[in-house]
Amino acid sequence: MGIIVANWKMNGNPDFADNFIEEINAADSENTVVVCPPAPLLGRFRNFRYDVGAQNCFCEEKGAFTGENSPRLLREIGCKYVIVGHSERRSIFHETDDLIFKKHLAVVAENMIPIVCIGENAENRDNREKVISDQLSFFLNNPGSTDKTPCFAYEPVWGIGTGLIPSPEEIETIFAFIRNLLGDKVSLLYGGSVNAKNSSEILSRKNVDGLLIGGASLKADEFKKIIEEKSF
Ligand code: 13P
């Protein structure tokens, strides 16, 4: 069974969330299902039968950090997961590897599961192992930091929202490389242009434990099909 995570990004509204929840509550999934809506919609998920996560948080518990979300508060309102260091956070909001590592620690301190995102952009496709190693440097230099079995999501930036997916062999090579760096305790997710047609194939690849899904998670019927897949 896999871990299937929906990242709605900055999409959706209260009516959309209510309809989505109704449709997905009717799904029968043996997978671990996590939905990460925009933070203002988290409260609508009180009667959701699967897990809920946040798309981001700050690395401090509370204080004068206007506009940020506290990991403690996210846990208190029911989040079990937090996406950390998504490529959009890295590129648009200039998040650094150092900050991302601190956020990971803050999420773990609240007994939630961080989903730490890594992945190269198009120019670095041939240099991806170096990019990934650099993005993971704080984790690799702090042995024990991954003991609480976090998730890591490999999302090639060139594959997000483009319909482009690495070949099956490429996925296995990348995931073997990441597995070798991070070990057996962590869960490794693939993200980037996943849909109901390719989800099962991607999840069947060695070392792929789950999926992080953007666009296709905004179509409840398609997301339902993905999470109901039994052959993972
Ligand atoms: P898409 O599934 O829309 O390509 O987005 C992937 C992603 O960024 C999920 O975090």
| Domain map (residue ranges) of the chain | 3-228
Residue whose CA is at the smallest distance from ligand 1 atom 2: 214
Burial of 121 (0-12, 13-18, 19+ CB in 10 A): middle
Beta-carbon contacts of 78 under 8 Å, excluding residues fewer than 6 positions away, are 42, 45, 46, 52
Is the confidence at residue 172, as pLDDT, over 90? yes
> What percentage of the chain reaches a pLDDT higher than 90?
97
CB 118 within 8 A of CB 136: yes
Q: Is residue 94 among the annotated active site residues?
A: no
Helices within the chain (DSSP H only): 14-25, 71-76, 87-92, 97-109, 128-135, 137-140, 168-182, 199-203, 220-228
pLDDT of residue 232: 58
| Ligand 1 neighbours (beta carbon < 6 A) | 7, 86, 155, 160-161, 191-194, 212-216
The CATH code for residues 3-228 is 3.20.20.70
pLDDT tens figures, 70-93: 999 999 999 999 999 999 999 999
pLDDT tens figures, 44-80: 999 999 999 999 999 999 999 999 999 999 999 999 9
Annotated catalytic residue, options 86, 88, 95, 104? 86
Integer distance in angstroms from the first to the last C-alpha of the chain?
5
Atom of ligand 1 nearest to the CA of 86: 10
pLDDT of residue 153: 98
Q: 136: which strand partners?
A: none
Residue whose CA is at the smallest distance from ligand 1 atom 7: 214
